[in-house]
Every structure is written in C-alpha cells, then in structure tokens.
Amino acid sequence: MSKRRPVDRRQDAGFTLIELLVVIAILGLLISLVAPAVLRQLGGAKVSIAKQSIERIGSILDTYKLDVGNYPTTEDGMQALVTKPSDAENWNGPYVKGNSVPLDPWNHPYVYRAPSDRPDHDYDLCSPGPNNNASSDTAICNK
C-alpha cells in the first residue's frame, strides 16, 4: 500500500496586482518628496565648492603676485597661472596642476578681471554660477 501525500490546496503565496500598484504609488510619492530636497542640497554643495575654489585660486594669485610683482592682467587672464606671460620676469609656475585653467563646479570657466571694478579689490574672480551668467545675482565672486 503506497502512502499518498496530502495535497495542499492553498494558492501560492504572492502579491496581487493591486498590492504591487499600491507599493509603486507609495514609492513614487516618497521619491517625489525626497528628490527636490536632495537636489537642493546638491546645488548648495556646488555653491560651497565654488566659494572654496575661488579662495584657493585667490591664494594662488597672491603667490603669482609675490613672484612677478603684480596680478595677471585681464588680457593674460588665469592662463598666466599655467603658461608664462611674455612680460613676467620672475614667473615661477605653473601655479596650478595640469595644463589647463580650473573650471567652476558647473564646468564653466571662472571670470577674471584685473584691475577690479569694485573698490578695495585688486582683481575680480567670479564663477558665473549654475546659469553661466557672470553679471547676474547668482555669480559667486571673491570677497
């Protein structure tokens, strides 16, 4: 006499389509609430990086001035930190790593002017910001 195994008549345990749709809807709501906050934090971090980079480049420009005797002109620009200008006698560079001028966190070139248009500044060094407009309120400049 052979033994028979009892047949389990329960249905396979699983999720119904409704349950899956509810979970997807909840995840969508969570993402829509969290994503803007994360993007704001990312934007704030880039502004902070731009300010720190401007300070760092400012100290590099100060070193250039100590060596050469003056800041690079607007015409020489920040390229003077990489390649020797023709009128720079005691140039001791390159002052930045690599063969290119640093870019801001949004991959735009910094805007450099010397002498400065602002009182009590020797030069202007600005990041055009996320919208790439150096003359707008979103531009981040040296203090």
What confidence score (pLDDT) does residue 129 get? 83
Residue 64: pLDDT band with limits 50, 70, 90: very high
Alpha carbon distance 54, 49 (integer Å): 9
Q: Please report, for residues 47, 93, 126, 129, the alpha-carbon distance to residue 138 in angstroms, rounded to integers and kept in the order given.
A: 10, 32, 10, 6
Residues 6+ apart with CB under 8 A from 96: 60, 81, 82, 102
Alpha carbon distance 73, 94 (integer Å): 16
Alpha carbon distance 91, 128 (integer Å): 28
Q: Hey, what domains does the chain have and what are their CATH numbers?
A: 20-141 (3.30.700.10)
What confidence score (pLDDT) does residue 115 get? 87
Q: Measure CA of the first residue to CA of the last residue in the chain; give whole Å.
A: 96
pLDDT digits (tens, 9 = 90+) for 6-15: 655 555 667 8
Q: Measured on CA atoms in the order 84, 85, 88, 89, is the torsion positive or negative?
A: positive
What confidence score (pLDDT) does residue 112 get? 92
% of the chain residues with pLDDT over 70? 87
pTM for this structure?
0.67
Residue 60 has pLDDT above 70, yes or no: yes
What confidence score (pLDDT) does residue 53 get? 92
Residue 23 has pLDDT above 80, yes or no: yes
pLDDT digits (tens, 9 = 90+) for 121-133: 999 999 988 877 7
Nearest-Å Rg of the Cα atoms of the chain is: 29
